[in-house]
A and B are shown apart, each in its own frame.
Chain A
Amino acid sequence: SQQGEEDPQALSIQEGENATMNCSYKTSINNLQWYRQNSGRGLVHLILIRSNEREKHSGRLRVTLDTSKKSSSLLITASRAADTASYFCATAGGETSGSRLTFGEGTQLTVNP
């Protein structure tokens, strides 16, 4: 079963706009990671945020983590048509769950030129 739920399931914006995707999870985590998947292709690692971090930046990406609410958000600023893809959050859990990743259901982002 999926650990997380992503919101929205689909998002359509114009080039240059910002895109925000949210992820909620259920159990305690060690870290949360965001991945991008172009249609039917492999997953590309975007960013990892640890449970003791609240915000992280990488280029046009900004990730926040609120462990009290068990939620995270991914913000893509100044979006481009090439950002069109599915975005997944994945959690790595506590001691007993090893280093496996538990994925959310993903947000399909479409950036219109």
Chain B
Amino acid sequence: DSGVTQTPKHLITATGQRVTLRCSPRSGDLSVYWYQQSLDQGLQFLIQYYNGEERAKGNILERFSAQQFPDLHSELNLSSLELGDSALYFCASSFGLAKTEQFFGPGTRLTVL
């Protein structure tokens, strides 16, 4: 158990819908990262937050947004969902901004029908 929690574990929804994925980092960690894992794209970095502020952006679609709250939990919002958004979404956390180990949550499996 990495100490990173993600909810829900599974999400099934329809095209055009909007969903919210939630992540709680390990106790004491200030950085939260979101990654997407799909069969065709592999594991890709989406976005990073540090202590409530956006720090880095990867190949995140404009239909996706995220935020980190004062209690350090983070949410990833996916809107206007398409079939191709079906994937495993992982949250990871680390203590600071330094390039250290990232600890991953169990993921949310999103299925868009």
Contact residues, A89-108 vs B (CB, 8 A): 90, 92, 97-106
Residue of B nearest to A94 (CB): B99
Q: Which residues of B contact A75 (CB under 8 A)?
A: none
**Interface presence of B14 (CB below 8 A):** no
- Among the stretches A17-25, A42-50, A77-85, the one at the interface with B is A42-50
Contact residues, A29-75 vs B (CB, 8 A): 30-31, 33, 35, 40-45, 48
Identify which of A40, A92, A97, A99 gathers the most chain B CB atoms within 10 Å of its CB: A99
**Interface presence of B8 (CB below 8 A):** no
Q: Which residues of A contact B106 (CB under 8 A)?
A: 41-42
> B56: which of A31, A48, A99 is its contact (CB, 8 Å)?
A99
> A41: which of B58, B97, B99, B107 is its contact (CB, 8 Å)?
B107
Contact residues, B70-113 vs A (CB, 8 A): 88, 90, 92, 94, 97-107, 109
**Interface presence of A87 (CB below 8 A):** no
- Asked whether A2 and B45 contact (CB < 8 A) given A40-B109, A42-B90, A45-B101, the answer is no
Q: Are B104 and A42 in contact (CB under 8 A)?
A: yes
> A99: which of B31, B90, B103, B104 is its contact (CB, 8 Å)?
B31
**Interface presence of B68 (CB below 8 A):** no
Tell me what chain B mostly uses at the interface: helix, strand, loop, or mixed.
strand
Number of interface residues of B (CB under 8 A): 28
Q: Are B42 and A2 in contact (CB under 8 A)?
A: yes
Q: Are A98 and B104 in contact (CB under 8 A)?
A: no
Residue of B nearest to A42 (CB): B106
**Interface presence of B2 (CB below 8 A):** yes
Q: Are A30 and B99 in contact (CB under 8 A)?
A: yes
9 A-B pairs closest in CB distance: A103-B43, A92-B99, A98-B56, A43-B104, A42-B106, A100-B45, A30-B99, A99-B99, A42-B104
Interface set of B (CB-CB < 8 Å, partner A):
2, 31, 33, 35, 42-45, 48, 55-56, 58, 88, 90, 92, 94, 97-107, 109
Interface set of A (CB-CB < 8 Å, partner B):
2, 30-31, 33, 35, 40-45, 48, 88, 90, 92, 97-106
